[in-house]
Structure 1
Amino acid sequence: MFYALYFEIHHLVASAALGFARVAPIFFFLPFLNSGVLSGAPRNAIIILVALGVWPHALNEAPPFLSVAMIPLVLQEAAVGVMLGCLLSWPFWVMHALGCIIDNQRGATLSSSIDPANGIDTSEMANFLNMFAAVVYLQNGGLVTMVDVLNKSYQLCDPMNECTPSLPPLLTFINQVAQNALVLAQSGGISAVAVRSIPGFIVALCSANERFCDFTDGKKAVLPF
């Protein structure tokens, strides 16, 4: 009885390891599931539960945990997981990069460019936009999308069968993702520069025409528009 339980636990660990290799990169990349939100043993337990929940085979179909056949399977699953994590996380990376650009242009993180050793590296706008994107993502069913992507990934690339995805459709999809990311970043950057230029325009107008912006008498400034 105990011998059967021992081998059953080994098969369970093998299936959990293969599932962990595919699911863990997604948890590492997404900002609302990384170490800043979930850390240590609770995150690993949740990853294993999600991995076993979407595992498409019986637990005893995985190869033995300590066998040589597990090495290429784990590497393959890790590569698929990294690709899925990148595709699911690119909107958050775009928003984070946009926040860094805004803070750098307004001078909040300019010290990191002048003195990288002692300058400020943290961008508050980047963190805010990253969390804002996470809220929008979760509000619109992002977790359901993540689980559905994992389920469909097992249909396209089964670890127990031959997994040779066609490269042309994959490269086309990556190209579309990169184009959309650049368009979003460019449109957001233009909006940020426009908003940033308004106060500069007002200050320049006040400097050139002091009669329009006279704060010495304690009254509010009167602008010509």
Structure 2
Amino acid sequence: MNLTIGPLFESIAVYLWPFVRVAAFVMVMPVIGGSFVPGRVRLMIALVLTLVIAPVLQPAITVNFLSFAGVIIILQELAIGIAMGFAVQLIFDAIALGGQVVAMSMGLGFAVFLDRQRGVNIPVLGQFFLMLGMLIFLSLDGHLALIQLIGESFRILPIAGAGLTQGAVSFLLSWSGQVFVVALKIALPAITALLVVNLSFGVMSRAAPTLNLFAVGFPVAMLLGFVVIFLSMGSLTENVSRSTADALEMLPALLNSR
């Protein structure tokens, strides 16, 4: 009896190619891709999504995944999944950056906390902003929209197609500038208020040189910073919602870039 492994490889490839893209996306996407989510859980999510997506895709390509061409396709699928997850993750990096800027202006830069999303230490205020951003993202069903987009990506960029073009890479690099734009929108109210306070204390120090600014200015700046943060919660929610919507609208444009 002659046994051939060709049909076996073809059956594996039907699920392998989609799994590579989906797994790369799940490992990088916001919330689910955080280090606080166990790797096994993320792997199971990727497997379940692959089992749902793979049967409705176009017929699998007849390329041995152990060949050189198969390795190239795997690298292409990895790049597509990572690029999609990274593009959305930039919004949350901007939220954390905005919180860090506010914390530094208030004098809370020394209060750091382990960010379980990235595994690094960031100011507590930045972590607070990031948690609020995640809750807003989940309340807007952003995670469901991302799952829908990863399924739609197989129609826009089929497996073994052109992959990420130079135009897509350039588009992604230009989109990375949104980190500073969103961070500025989030931190601008607190920075403006604290700048006025610092200028006021500068004038007071010239009028009364014996005034201990460290004993007076630090509590006032911190208290005013918390008041401004409380008053600007509405704008924070609006900025996060708008930025999330922009990121979801950007992904199809990224995949269609030529």
Interval of TM-score (by shorter of Structure 1 and Structure 2): 0.5 to 0.7
- 1:148 shift after superposition: 2.3
Are positions 1:135 and 2:135 aligned together? yes
Residue 42 (structure 2) aligns with:
43
Cα RMSD of the aligned pairs, angstroms, is 3.8
TM-score (norm: length of structure 2): 0.60
Distance 2:171 2:58 in 1: 34
Are positions 1:23 and 2:22 aligned together? yes
The amino acid that maps onto 1:86 is F
Task: Describe the superposition over 1:40-63 as per-residue Cα deviations: whole angstroms up to 9, x where unpaired.
Answer: 322211112113322353686564
Distance 2:104 2:24 in 1: 29
Distance 1:199 1:31 in 2: 36
- Bigger relative CO (Cα 8 Å, ≥ 6 apart): 2
With 131-140 and 187-196 compared, the bigger mean Cα shift is at 187-196
Query: Which residue of the other structure, out of 192, 195, 217, is the alignment partner of 1:194?
Result: 192
Task: Describe the superposition over 1:13-48 as per-residue Cα deviations: whole angstroms up to 9, x where unpaired.
Answer: 434432232123332233411243421322211112
Determine if contact 2:87/2:172 at 8 Å carries over to the other structure: no
Distance 1:129 1:59 in 2: 45
Runs of 4+ deviating beyond 6 Å = 6-9, 201-210
**Structure 2, unaligned stretches of length 5 or more?**
113-119, 212-258
Q: What SS is found at the alignment partner of 1:151?
A: helix
Determine if contact 2:80/2:163 at 8 Å carries over to the other structure: no
TM-score (norm: length of structure 1): 0.68
Bigger Rg, structure 1 or 2: 1
Distance 1:20 1:142 in 2: 21
- 1:77 shift after superposition: 0.4
Change in Cα spacing, 1:29 to 1:124, as seen in structure 2 (3 Å) is: farther
Q: What SS is found at the alignment partner of 2:122?
A: coil
Distance 2:194 2:178 in 1: 24
Q: What SS is found at the alignment partner of 1:38?
A: coil
